Amino acid sequence: MKPPASVTIAEWPKNGRETLRVQLTEYQGRPIIDLRVWYEGRDGDLRPSRSGLTCSTSHVERLAEALAEAAARLKGETE
């Protein structure tokens, strides 16, 4: 399934200056998922940093499974 040009799925503050953002977007006509750190530019607008992960949308299910496993393990460590 081809996503629209760019759809923000989620974002949350990483710290006082940066935001983590998850987007479905395109690169060279191919759909990708982009998990990236954004920072506030001098003009006040958020700008993408070089820090992040970009991969084909074919990896989304395995990435979600891996993140769910990491969350489960972290939850087990804190209980």
Residue 57: give its domain's CATH number.
2.30.31.10
Is 11 inside a domain boundary? yes
* Domain housing 44: 6-78
Averaged pLDDT score across all residues of the chain: 92
pLDDT tens digits along 6-63: 999 999 999 999 999 999 999 998 999 999 999 999 999 999 999 999 999 999 999 9
Is 1 inside a domain boundary? no
Q: Is the pLDDT of residue 77 over 80?
A: no
Is 40 inside a domain boundary? yes
The number of distinct structural domains making up the chain is 1
Nearest to 64 by CA among 5, 10, 4, 2: 10
pLDDT at 79: 61
